[in-house]
Chain A
């Protein structure tokens, strides 16, 4: 139980995939035009993350080291397709709103990253909570971004009008707004880190090692 809580805390706050690890940028920026879409994408990713973490943890002793990355990709792609079917069948509005970004969850760095760095080395239950924590952390980040963009860009939150229509700045719902809002959120976080005496956020900035390490570098790992 303690370990489960520790995993949740780790995913949501300590190693928040978006703000701290800077992973999964594409859906973060693309699907956060409104709070509802942000929550939808976050929860869909969480579901895929939990399912794939559980399956990979269960099969961790069976999957040969040499072909583990292709095996993970197959498992993740399967889970994504299953979730897509379920959304089409029972929540079509979310499926329509997120469109192509649902199949693209397959290449979301967070999922392969967790498979590689956690689920492949730990038992099923902790892996489940790791997936849940990371997924919720991602959801929180997407919801924040979605809420800011919807509020500034359309003047509403979850469809309820807060700012009169004449004062909304529609650039925030458009593509550039996504970059600006994320830039400000990361800057705020840098400010907090600086206050605590830590270095500013670098993310996968630079050599992209943050990304490659976690996404798995198929070449090296297949040949290893």
Chain B
């Protein structure tokens, strides 16, 4: 047998056995990896909508929701709305929704976060999944000080302010901007507003169906 053929065969054998080994390990770790993925999602949901016990992914018309949100002034290129989880209590009643939104206009690009909204439209919490803003400035968005401002407020729309913030009303609530990171603040506020609009769309549709 020519030497190069033998070399090639051995290399092939090594590659194939590597592939098989990988396939095996892939199968073995498949269950725990899927479990971690689910646990991560559960934890993200619990962080923003603690009053629910179980969370199930809601099947909704994403395109229609996006056009509804666009109709209200936030385009898909500004904020994309991802998966929506429906939170249910122990009795199986819906207590609220966890909406994943990704505003793309942060200083460092996309910021992905979840917004929990209770049935009556009150924001129950905001939690960041991934963020790549400037440390010390935009990264302050991922602190309880900033995110806490959204919690337990029932309003139609959030806006940011650089001065003393006023009392929130049904129509409008103000959020203190992060100093030195207005772009990040704007992106975050826009993302929460998109989640509120998505919630409007979801609940509005249910009402009309009844």
Interface contact A74-B14, CB-CB below 8 Å: yes
Interface contact B136-A170, CB-CB below 8 Å: yes
Number of A-B contacts (CB under 8 A): 62
> Given that A85-B29, A173-B135, A174-B134 are known contacts, is A78 also in contact with B7, CB under 8 Å in the complex?
no
Interface contact A85-B11, CB-CB below 8 Å: no
Interface contact A78-B18, CB-CB below 8 Å: yes
CB-CB contacts of B1-19 with A at 8 A, as 1s and 0s? 0011011101100110010
Chain A contacts to B: CB under 8 angstroms: 59, 62-64, 66-67, 70-71, 74-75, 77-78, 81-82, 85-86, 88-90, 92, 153-154, 168, 170, 173-174
A-B contact pairs, 20 of them (CB 8 A): A64-B10, A66-B3, A66-B4, A67-B8, A67-B10, A75-B14, A82-B22, A82-B25, A85-B25, A86-B25, A88-B33, A88-B36, A89-B32, A89-B36, A90-B32, A92-B40, A170-B134, A170-B135, A170-B137, A174-B135
> Given that A63-B14, A70-B11, A74-B18 are known contacts, is A153 also in contact with B29, CB under 8 Å in the complex?
no
The residues of B that contact A78 with a CB separation of less than 8 Å are: 18, 21-22
The residues of A that contact B10 with a CB separation of less than 8 Å are: 62-64, 67, 71
Say whether chain A's binding surface is mostly helix, strand, loop, or mixed.
helix
Say whether chain B's binding surface is mostly helix, strand, loop, or mixed.
helix
Rank and list the top 5 A-B pairs by shortest CB-CB distance, nearest first: A170-B136, A89-B32, A78-B18, A89-B29, A64-B7
Interface contact B14-A64, CB-CB below 8 Å: no
Residue of A nearest to B139 (CB): A170
The residues of B that contact A88 with a CB separation of less than 8 Å are: 29, 33, 36
The residues of A that contact B14 with a CB separation of less than 8 Å are: 59, 63, 71, 74-75
Interface contact B33-A85, CB-CB below 8 Å: yes
Q: How far is the CA of A173 from the CA of B132 in the complex (A)?
A: 12
Interface contact A86-B29, CB-CB below 8 Å: yes
Interface contact A64-B136, CB-CB below 8 Å: no
The residues of A that contact B11 with a CB separation of less than 8 Å are: 64, 67, 70-71, 74
Q: How far is the CA of A82 from the CA of B29 in the complex (A)?
A: 9
Q: How far is the CA of A154 from the CA of B143 in the complex (A)?
A: 14
Q: How far is the CA of A70 from the CA of B29 in the complex (A)?
A: 27
Question: How many whole Å from B113's CB to the nearest CB in chain A?
Answer: 15
The residues of A that contact B18 with a CB separation of less than 8 Å are: 74-75, 77-78
Question: How many whole Å from A10's CB to the nearest CB in chain B?
Answer: 28
Q: How far is the CA of A110 from the CA of B27 in the complex (A)?
A: 30
Question: How many whole Å from A29's CB to the nearest CB in chain B?
Answer: 16
The residues of A that contact B4 with a CB separation of less than 8 Å are: 66
Q: How far is the CA of A22 from the CA of B91 in the complex (A)?
A: 61
Q: How far is the CA of A179 from the CA of B22 in the complex (A)?
A: 36
The residues of B that contact A154 with a CB separation of less than 8 Å are: 135
Q: A67-B7, A85-B26, A88-B36 are in contact. List 18 more A-B contacts (CB 8 A).
A: A63-B10, A64-B7, A64-B11, A71-B11, A71-B14, A74-B11, A75-B18, A81-B25, A82-B22, A85-B25, A86-B29, A88-B33, A89-B33, A89-B36, A92-B36, A153-B135, A170-B136, A174-B135
The residues of B that contact A89 with a CB separation of less than 8 Å are: 29, 32-33, 36
